[in-house]
Amino acid sequence: MVDTLEEWEDYAPFAANPFGSRPVWIGYDPSHRGDSAGCVVLAPPVVAGGKSGSLSVHQWKGMDFATQAESIRKLTEKYNVEYIGIDATGLGVGVFQLVRSFYPAARDIRYTPEMKTAMVLKAKDVIRRGCLEYDVSATDITSSFMAIRKTMTSSGRSATYEASRSEEASHADLAWATMHALLNEPLTAGISTPLTSTILEFY
């Protein structure tokens, strides 16, 4: 965690274009049945395996699919968006289809035990190397990641990851949204980067 106003000289959160012409990645976890939707705008690493920074986070509740998609469209007007990753499993496909109408390159992420494992392994790697930065005030990101736990599928044949059902963590929407953005970088990107101590851990 960092004081973004002090340490991120190239980020002006209150400007019309907060990150100028630099590219960003957006990860989105749609709202399904009453939980909040999570959206994260991530500054990607400048070099493979480098640091990513969470520029802004949003939690939207009570929005229909069209309003969720419109909120994402407005972000594409503020930032130079290079990638959008959206959970298109089940009801999430509605938001994805609307986003694709104005951002055709949007990636649909279909949840399977294997996909969830890949996302969690990528996030763990980035976090353990100290390569995920976000503002010190964004404690909801920390609690969101810590709400994720390893469990077994209903068949008992494979492991998967689920979120606790606490209202405080809102089903880990910000963690999933962050992982959707991080998924744009290959898992092997930081293989030669040394580990860094961190207080954030999830299982």
The span from the CA of 94 to the CA of 62, in Å, is 15
Q: How confident is the model at residue 49 (pLDDT cuts 50, 70, 90)?
A: confident
The residue-averaged pLDDT of 117-145 equals 90
Q: How far is CA 115 from CA 71, 112, 127, 151, 172, in A?
A: 26, 5, 18, 14, 16
The pLDDT mean for the chain works out to 86
Q: In percent, how much of the chain has pLDDT > 90?
A: 54
Q: Between 101 and 32, whose confidence is greater?
A: 101
pLDDT of residue 7: 80
Q: Is residue 37 pLDDT above 60, yes or no?
A: yes
pLDDT of residue 195: 46
The residue-averaged pLDDT of 31-58 equals 86
- Where do the domains of the chain lie? 4-190
Tokens of 153: 């599928």
Q: How confident is the model at residue 174 (pLDDT cuts 50, 70, 90)?
A: very high
Whole-structure pTM value: 0.87
Q: How confident is the model at residue 31 (pLDDT cuts 50, 70, 90)?
A: confident
Q: Is residue 200 pLDDT above 80, yes or no?
A: no
Q: Between 163 and 78, whose confidence is greater?
A: 78
What does the DSSP assignment read for the chain? Answer: -B-HHHH-TT--TTSSSTTTT-EEEEEEE---SSSPEEEEEEE--SSTT--EEEEEEEEE-S--HHHHHHHHHHHHHHSEEEEEEEE-STTHHHHHHHHHHH-TTPEEE---HHHHHHHHHHHHHHHHTT-EE-BTT-HHHHHHHHTEEEEE-TTSSSEEEEE---TTTGGGHHHHHHHHHHTTS-GGGGTTSPP---S----
The class level of CATH for 4-190 reads alpha beta
Q: How confident is the model at residue 128 (pLDDT cuts 50, 70, 90)?
A: very high
Q: Is residue 192 pLDDT above 60, yes or no?
A: no
